[in-house]
Amino acid sequence: MTDKKNPGGFTLKYGPPIGMFEAHAGKDPLDQIKFMADQGFRAMFDNGLMGRPVSEQEAFARETTRLGMEIGPFVAYADFSVKSFVTRDASVREMMGQKLKTAVETAKRTNVKTTLVVPGRFDERLDWDYQTTNVIENLKWCAGICEPGGLAIVIEPLNPKDHPGLFLTKMSQAYQIAQSVGSPACKIVNDIYHQQITEGNIIPNIDACWDRIAAFHCGDTPGRKEPGTGELNYRSIFSHIRSKGYKGVICMEHGMSMKGKEGEMAVINAYRSCDIS
């Protein structure tokens, strides 16, 4: 049963990760998904979904379908240690081809619409414009693998303080690349936590990139905990996203300010407080 404090569920598809509500629901992921739904959540996500056994992926799909929930993007590729998409290395395409074929198969089993890709590190010895061109061309090739199956890649800009040396850091940069790829299979995941650190200006950047945003990640800063623990006004941000008619998932990619059941309830109540229609 949905909690009486929120009998109609949330107005946006906030998606908790597997593991967030273990104190209440236990370690079984299916019990956790049921608990999420009982609390009014209409989505969930699992970055590691592609690496789970097929039987577990199928179980996730059955349970989320039964509960009327959507699964947010899983990670197809996010190696922060290598120069990958910025190069013209044929081995990078071979590696990505294998990963994206697995991603397409995973998406078909789980009804997931988006898979996350981080383009890797930048190359200090190569002109920036050449690197950008290489990223665009590599993503065009990747989009060609995903598009026939209806799966969209979402590229994620990450902040250079937590993750120094990565190529993709800003929303304007991600938008330039996605527009240049020119495929419905190349979109953006806007991680609000990362973008507050990198550049701020959260709502205007949402508007500027709107036609290429296919998913959101959230977390407050400093601390990367639930909304209300940092400097971001998530009530205003969520209200703006809602006003634009967003129907996708907002992945709750953050920690908790407190441990145990108390911390889990603090997370749930933080989203209830921000979810004002």
Count CB neighbours of 189 within 10 A: 27
Is residue 218, in this structure, part of any structural domain at all?
A: yes
Q: Is residue 233 one of the residues assigned to a domain? A: no
pLDDT in tens, 117-132: 999 999 999 999 999 9
CATH of the domain at 187: 3.20.20.150
**Segment 22-63, tens digit of pLDDT:** 999 999 999 999 999 999 999 999 999 999 999 999 999 999
Confidence of residue 276 (pLDDT cuts 50, 70, 90): confident
Among 6, 155, 151, CA closest to 71: 151
Residue 266 lies inside a defined structural domain of this protein: no
> 80 CB contacts (<8 Å, ≥6 apart)?
118, 120, 121, 163, 165, 166
Average model confidence (pLDDT) for the chain?
96
Rg (CA), the chain: 18
- Rounded distance between C-alpha atoms, residue 4 and residue 40, angstroms: 10
pLDDT above 60: residue 207:
yes
Rounded Cα distance between 119 and 174, Å, is 11
Q: Is 205 helix (H, G, I), strand (E, B) or coil?
A: helix
Report the domain count for the chain. 1
Confidence band of 8 (pLDDT split at 50, 70, 90): low
pLDDT digits (tens, 9 = 90+) for 223-247: 999 999 999 999 999 999 999 999 9
Look at residue 4 and tell me if it is in a domain. no
Burial (CB count within 10 angstroms: exposed 0-12, middle 13-18, buried 19+), residue 95: middle
Tokens encoding 116: 């996350």
pLDDT in tens, 146-183: 999 999 999 999 999 999 999 999 999 999 999 999 99
- Is 151 contained in some domain? yes
Q: Is residue 6 part of a domain?
A: no
Q: Which domain holds residue 26?
A: 13-223+238-260
pTM: 0.94
The answer to the question of residue 271 being in a domain is no
What is the tens place of the pLDDT at every residue in 60-113?
A: 999 999 999 999 999 999 999 999 999 999 999 999 999 999 999 999 999 999
Q: What is the mean pLDDT of residues 184-213?
A: 98
